[in-house]
Structure 1
Amino acid sequence: MSDQTPTPQGQPPGTAEDGAALLDEVEAHHRRFNVFPSEAAYVAVTLWDAHAHLMDCFEATARLAFLSPEPGSGKTRALEIVDTLVPRSMFTVGISASALFRSVSDGETRPTVLWDEIDTVFGPQALGNEDLRGLINSGYRRSGGIYRSVREGENHRVIKFPVYAALALAGLGDLPDTIMSRAVIIRMRRRAPNEQVEPFRQRIHEPEGHALRDRLADWADSVREKVNGAWPELPEGVSDRPADVWEPLLAVAEAAGGHWPERARAACLELVNAAKANDKGSLGIRLLSDLRDVFDGAERMTSVAILERLLAMDDAPWADMDGRPLNSRSLARMLGDYVTEDNQPIKPRNIKVAGSVLKGYYAADLADAWTRYCPPHSETSATSATTATAQVRPLFSVADEVAVADRNPESAPASEPDLTPTG
């Protein structure tokens, strides 16, 4: 496709914009420059672009997250195209909590925030940034806000400042769980040789995107009363936080009409289920899920047998936990954070095996944690060792050298492992 592709001219003056046709054009604009991983992704991103023009009609705004395991996967380009379509765009690769707060706290000039390289803020090498995380989470709901003490003469008064704003993010790896649960997640990947896109030339194509942006704004004004307070039909099984995330996008689809409501519900179901399947939760939840697979209906298992099977999982982090394999001590520490049905910490217990007594675990002790924390088997998927390893460092200290028995589970003693936290 050449750079001289005609710009859509929209509806004749004085006629109502066809919402479905307009969203089709917005989607086509993305397809010219972006390769998304699925049809559902094109639908979700298009609806997100449109919802940014109707922010005050909704109780919440989904975060849009373009994530990938490797650079060069089209995340920045995705944000650049979104940038041309949303109102009052603020594109950044870094912003302080104070600057972000001041930018979004004025409802009249509130921007649509597009944040690239977010992994430098929340990635494994990043530290702190709790203020930013709190601000991002608070801005998800229209009722959310940040409290500040404001001086008035000799006195101080606590004032709640609104921070509700649309936010799209792009980065490597994953984001904190609290942000992930508030986001429509698009798992980007590098283009295959047969996936071709048109080169994006800002001075040529940005005006085309802005023309669509202006038409989206006009259409949004025409349907604002219809969208405000709407209760769109949700796919069966979508509830709680996923429902909050998708309701604005589904409301936009229903306002547009045509094939968009059906496409939106299908995309919602696909991406919500994909998010559940890829939800790593925490390293502890990953361990519980893998233990459930390891037990596979068994009543009890020795620590030796459990470790042997965990370490044999090719796609799991257990064989390389910050440079060393999972051992009986770290296994006990991790499981000790969870409790049995009787609200007692999960601990290894004695198991008689061929005349010997070894330490191990009973499925009955793990059952309550499996029920509470693990997704159904059909929603469980493999997760990468690379991401999980970032959570491993607190489990080991320099002083906690692995004992011979821990390096060689076959020689592990029957005594209770030392559960004293390391410094």
Structure 2
Amino acid sequence: MTEAPSPNSPTPQEGAAVLDAVEAHHRRFNVFPSEAAYVAVTLWDAHTHLLDCFESTPRIAFLSPEPGSGKTRALEIIETLTPRPMLTTDVSPAALFRSVSDPEARPTMLFDEIDTTFGPKAAGNEDLRGLINSGHRRSGVVLRCVGDGSTQTVQPFPVYAALAMGGLGDLPDTIMSRSVIVRMRRRAPNEKVQPYRERIHKPEGHVLRDRLAAWASTVRDQLHDAWPELPDGISDRPADVWEPLIAVADAAGGHWPERARAACVQLVTASKANDKGSIGIRLLADLRDVFAGAERLLSAELLSKLAELDDAPWADLDGKPITARALARMLGDYVTADNDPIKPRNIKTGPKSSAKGYYAADLADAWLRYCPPRSQESATPATAATAQVRALFPVADTPPVADTHPLPAPEPALTATSLP
């Protein structure tokens, strides 16, 4: 193996080799759930050295249903590879604001056990959530009063900073949508990693950190004006998240541009599949299944069918089955194609009798806007009204899967004395 170029004289072409070495370093100590995850984490490490080149910085979240899944170890390895890392398990909004408000000494924030801050037993922490969300964009600021007594003035302070997180369960939707999500799991018996020893391996990570920083200095100017081509279907918030990572991959060259785009599609698709959405969106999706081609259904029948759905909350909503009043209240937040609130209407049940119920045509616009497309297998024959509804939901294409590349050849173990 040829000796790595000196950080004092890096070349742009070294980028692919540096990223290969960083990925190999992660593979020594981390077991991630997919090839796409290794690609994303490696690119995220590199982008922390180039924050000022981008309009936004993606958060990266290592989440798992159970402890002991490697989340903390992932953050510990990232700590060795990123500039000015600050690893914590607890931080107040004031402390985080003061830590990131100086652009010249801006840290890479590594927030472990974040479920204790935003989990179901936490108190919400809206100030901290707002600060994390604002710091996603380079233009993000928080407003603080500066001065004494009545002479105070409102002054904006920058809060743009890279943030990696680890925790159990999920995070607030606003943070999830700004993040690359890596769903961690416990290692299987056949998945082996090296024991991590900070005294030995942290200096090795620092060697790679310095190589990343040196390479970043050679591509900084070109990345300031980079507009990478994103995969088809990647837009809006996912585009904000992935654009910096794909720009880094393009600058590195080699197999990284191809791998980055494949990983982007795979992880964005996976995040959508795991997105539980709000309780309102869950209700709309379940109603679409319950209608199953019917033009209209009575409220009583809807409530009965909702309660029978497996793995659904409607049989035990706040300790009791969903009621007609609760159904009407929740659907009233959405509107029909004519921009009128969705509400129950009278449906004739006999020559002189009627009961409250809902029409599929009233729900069609909300289904289109908020529910995922229906698969071909779930499509059913429909009346004229539901044929219109079904036409709104084209069959989703099968997404491409991230390419699997052979593991880069491991580099010789690095030590502190190996520093160039």
Q: Is the TM value for this pair above 0.5?
A: yes
Aligned mate of 2:77, from 48, 60, 81: 81
Check if 1:197 corresponds to 2:210: no
Check if 1:358 corresponds to 2:355: yes
Report the CA distance between 1:360 and its aligned residue: 2.1
Aligned mate of 1:182, from 173, 178, 182: 178
**Structure 1 316/74 Cα, relative in aligned 2: closer, same or farther at 3 Å?**
farther
What residue identity is the alignment partner of 1:284? G
**Any idea what SS the aligned residue of 1:231 has?**
coil
Deviations 1:192-238 (A, max 9, x none): 22222222222221111111111111111111112122111111111
**Structure 1 191/354 Cα, relative in aligned 2: closer, same or farther at 3 Å?**
farther
What residue identity is the alignment partner of 1:232? P
Report the CA distance between 1:62 and its aligned residue: 0.3
Identify the residue that residue 368 of structure 1 maps to in structure 2.
Answer: 365
Quick one: distance in 1 between partners of 2:316 and 2:24? 44
Report the CA distance between 1:72 and its aligned residue: 2.0
Identify the residue that residue 143 of structure 1 maps to in structure 2.
Answer: 139
Report the CA distance between 1:344 and its aligned residue: 2.7
**Structure 1 314/105 Cα, relative in aligned 2: closer, same or farther at 3 Å?**
same
Report the CA distance between 1:160 and its aligned residue: 1.0
**Any idea what SS the aligned residue of 2:315 has?**
coil
Check if 1:246 corresponds to 2:242: yes
After TM superposition, the structure 1 stretch with the greater mean CA deviation from structure 2, 186-195 or 104-113, is 186-195
Report the CA distance between 1:314 and its aligned residue: 2.2
After TM superposition, the structure 1 stretch with the greater mean CA deviation from structure 2, 187-196 or 125-134, is 187-196
Aligned mate of 1:212, from 197, 208, 228: 208
The TM-score, its normalising length taken from structure 1, stands at: 0.83
What residue identity is the alignment partner of 2:336? T
What residue identity is the alignment partner of 1:372? R
Deviations 1:248-268 (A, max 9, x none): 000100010000000001111
Report the CA distance between 1:59 and its aligned residue: 0.6
Does the 8 A contact of 2:26 with 2:77 survive in 1? yes
Q: How does 1:2-401 map to 2 (within 5 A)?
A: 10-12=4-6, 16-17=10-11, 18-151=14-147, 155-353=151-349, 357-378=354-375
Identify the residue that residue 412 of structure 1 maps to in structure 2.
Answer: none
- The runs of 5 or more residues in structure 2 that have no matched partner are 379-420
Aligned residues: 374
Query: Cα RMSD over matched residues?
Result: 2.2
Aligned-pair identity (%): 72
**Any idea what SS the aligned residue of 1:161 has?**
strand
**Structure 1 90/130 Cα, relative in aligned 2: closer, same or farther at 3 Å?**
same
Quick one: distance in 2 between partners of 1:223 and 1:354? 75
Deviations 1:366-411 (A, max 9, x none): 11211222222359x9xxxxxxxxxxxxxxxxxxxxxxxxxxxxxx
**Any idea what SS the aligned residue of 1:127 has?**
coil
**Structure 1 49/9 Cα, relative in aligned 2: closer, same or farther at 3 Å?**
farther
Report the CA distance between 1:34 and its aligned residue: 1.3
**Any idea what SS the aligned residue of 2:78 has?**
helix
**Any idea what SS the aligned residue of 2:17 has?**
helix
Quick one: distance in 2 between partners of 1:212 and 1:193? 29
Quick one: distance in 1 between partners of 2:149 and 2:288? 62
Quick one: distance in 1 between partners of 2:375 and 2:109? 36
After TM superposition, the structure 1 stretch with the greater mean CA deviation from structure 2, 255-264 or 24-33, is 24-33
Does the 8 A contact of 2:8 with 2:214 survive in 1? no
Deviations 1:79-126 (A, max 9, x none): 111111111000011100000000000001100000011111111121
What residue identity is the alignment partner of 2:20? D
Quick one: distance in 1 between partners of 2:81 and 2:301? 56
**Any idea what SS the aligned residue of 1:108 has?**
helix
Deviations 1:45-80 (A, max 9, x none): 100000000001101000111112222222111111
The structure, 1 or 2, with the larger RCO (C-alpha pairs under 8 Å, 6+ apart) is 2
**Any idea what SS the aligned residue of 2:147 has?**
strand
**Structure 1 263/123 Cα, relative in aligned 2: closer, same or farther at 3 Å?**
same
Does the 8 A contact of 2:7 with 2:210 survive in 1? no
The TM-score, its normalising length taken from structure 2, stands at: 0.84
Quick one: distance in 2 between partners of 1:44 and 1:185? 9
What residue identity is the alignment partner of 1:148? R
**Structure 1 234/378 Cα, relative in aligned 2: closer, same or farther at 3 Å?**
farther
**Structure 1 56/342 Cα, relative in aligned 2: closer, same or farther at 3 Å?**
same
